[in-house]
Chain A
Amino acid sequence: MSAVTSNATFTSTSAAATALDAVGSTAALVDTLQNPSAIKTMANANQNFYELYRSTSIGQTLADTLDELISSRRIEPQLAMRVMQNFDQNIAAVLGEKVKSRLNFKGHLDTYRFCDEVWTFIIKDVTFKMVDTGQQERADRVKIVACQSKDKPEK
């Protein structure tokens, strides 16, 4: 797995899936919201950042906006890919440095999956509690997609 990620210059999920399949991994089975966004992407300075957050609303709006600019020929697709990579890098940085809030949640685990170091949970009847504000939220069904934390050694 380390060999796969170390030489990864994946900029498209299909290419990533193909490369991983070539080494016999089961990356194609990674089930995320939109795509196997657990595939790492090369950013500048030889750092890998998850494409995980591209499935968020902020990531999707950025992709849609870039798509519009490409359609109108105002920017090149390569530039758009670079912007997305910048997004991957910056959202991870901001979430890690600027956000301090904590969360507790409980529920019933309906489904779990661990593939290519990506955990996918389906939780039913979840109750969220924000530690800072004491605010509570409830949801009937939540899907959690979690990649390995950068703090942990990946190899």
Chain B
Amino acid sequence: MSNLLVGDVYGKIIEAVIRDSKTEFEENGVSTATLSDLEKEWKHKLSQKDVAHMSWDPKPVPPQPVQQVPIPAQSLPSVATNHAQPSYSTYHQQPQPNGATRIKVENGPEQQYHGLPNSYPQSMPDGQGGQVRAAQLAQQYAQARGIAGGLALPGQRPQSMQPQNQTQHQAQQMYMHQQRQQQAALQQQQAQPRIKVENESPQLHQGGFQQHPRPPNPAYAQTDGADEGLEEWQAYIANRRATTAEQTERADHMMRDAVLQNSASLESGLMMTLDELPKGARSKKRQGKARAADKSVVAAGPSIPQLDGDYDEDEKPIKDEDDVDAINSDLDSEEDPTGDLDEDDDDFGDSILCTYDKVQRVKNKWKCVLKDGVMSINKKEWVFHKGTGEFEW
């Protein structure tokens, strides 16, 4: 097993997924160009992660567009700085590789999603010729490079925006607004192709924009009607990224509380004076949630499950490492070891995701048989059909 094998495996997975998704795309009326872009972008992102040598891997290729494209992009703002906003030049100074948002900002005043490119030359013919020339330059450059990547504007946008005639100030304000939105939504890859597409799109809107990739426009999400599907997807993504912390924290709290309960039940307040018991119980138990409950219990009587009968007798000395008077025992778990899992990330969290055939234990000797696994070890990825593990606990 080696990284080369992993690359082949990943290539097969991508091929199979794209093949199976083709019918879905056709049923939904999505063009195959989008599917091709999906595949291309997927492979590009995988190559960027550099976890293995992919079968399609053109490792030196991705950096090249980043290096070459910024040159014309930089020339554009210089032409348009007469009308550029202060933030525009600020963004321009930022390093190119940082992402599409920076570069896109540079072309913002000239090319905006809301059809500004269409309105700019129309409404402000006096001093905006430089921007128009800059836009045409970028378009020519993009056409020369034959860049077809990136994301394109949806069809509705340009049609709805063309009739608009915005003043320069309104355009700038919208541009600023879009800047922030773009930065939030856009990824780093294919920054330059996107810019070029944006430059192309206003020219080609009327001529069949559907044939060209459309740049991403997170601003559209705000102006469109509500989309339940989009919300669902965003919720799914947000859940993926937030669930670990939430569940781990919850698990930690529950485990900690369970341990505290068990230890407290064992102690039964033998080691603490009666005067200290109420204070210890209320201040340390359940970290605030139980405080309210305990206080209410004190007032209303022993109705809380944690406090059976007279709380003076059953109240337990809640152990807390911070409490000087706390009773610590070996049974206490200082910290949930799985809490360290929050630190695990794709980059430096070694992990194995697989299925298990058998897990057995004899005393403290564990043996497991794993199947069909993907390993991420030392920032490299591996795959295995069958794995056998032996460890001691």
Contact = CB atoms under 8 A, between A and B. Distances in A.
Interface of A: 11-14, 17, 28-37, 50, 52-58, 60-83, 86-87, 89-96, 98-114, 119-123, 126, 128, 130, 132-133, 135, 137, 139-152
Contacts of B376: 56-57
6 contacts: A29-B247, A53-B353, A55-B351, A98-B9, A103-B384, A143-B351
A60 B346 contact: yes
B56 interface: no
A72 B353 contact: no
Given A135-B2, A144-B352, A96 B17 contact: no
Interface stretch (B86-94, B215-223, B263-271): B215-223
A67 B338 CA distance: 30
Interface stretch (B74-82, B130-138, B163-171, B364-372): B364-372
B338 A102 contact: no
B356 A65 contact: no
A112 B387 contact: no
Given A35-B243, A72-B214, A77-B233, A66 B386 contact: no
B34 A69 contact: yes
A21 to B, nearest CB: 11
B230 interface: yes
A112 B393 contact: yes
Given A75-B28, A79-B28, A94 B41 contact: no
B229 A76 contact: yes
A113 B338 contact: yes
Contacts of A13: 236, 239-240, 243
A32 B342 CA distance: 10
B273 to A, nearest CB: 37
Given A12-B239, A72-B151, A83-B21, A77 B338 contact: no
Interface of B: 1-2, 5, 9-10, 12-14, 16-17, 20-21, 24-25, 28, 30, 34, 37-38, 41-42, 45-46, 49, 51, 151-152, 154, 185-187, 214-218, 220-221, 224, 227, 229-237, 239-241, 243-244, 247-248, 250-251, 254, 337-338, 340-341, 344, 346, 349-357, 359, 366, 368, 370-378, 381-393
A79 to B, nearest CB: 5
Contact of A146 (B25, B227, B354): B354
A107 to B, nearest CB: 5
Contacts of B375: 103, 128
Contact of A70 (B187, B233, B359): B233
Given A14-B235, A103-B387, A122-B338, 18 more contacts: A12-B232, A53-B353, A61-B49, A67-B237, A70-B234, A75-B30, A77-B234, A79-B30, A83-B21, A90-B17, A98-B9, A98-B12, A105-B387, A105-B388, A128-B377, A133-B2, A137-B378, A143-B352
A63 B214 CA distance: 20
Given A70-B233, A75-B34, A142-B377, A63 B247 contact: no
Name which of A56, A60, A121, A133 has the most chain B CB atoms within 10 A of its CB.
Answer: A56
Nearest to A66: B38
Contacts of B337: 110-111, 122
Q: Which 9 A-B pairs have the closest CB atoms?
A: A77-B233, A72-B216, A101-B1, A77-B229, A61-B45, A103-B387, A72-B151, A146-B356, A95-B372
A93 to B, nearest CB: 7
A119 B352 contact: no
Given A63-B237, A65-B41, A33 B374 contact: no
Given A72-B215, A76-B229, A106-B390, A82 B42 contact: no
A75 B151 CA distance: 11
A123 B123 CA distance: 66
B108 to A, nearest CB: 17
Contacts of B366: 109, 112
A80 B233 contact: yes
B352 A145 contact: yes
A82 to B, nearest CB: 5
A79 B12 contact: no
A58 B350 CA distance: 15
B58 to A, nearest CB: 16
Contacts of A104: 387-389
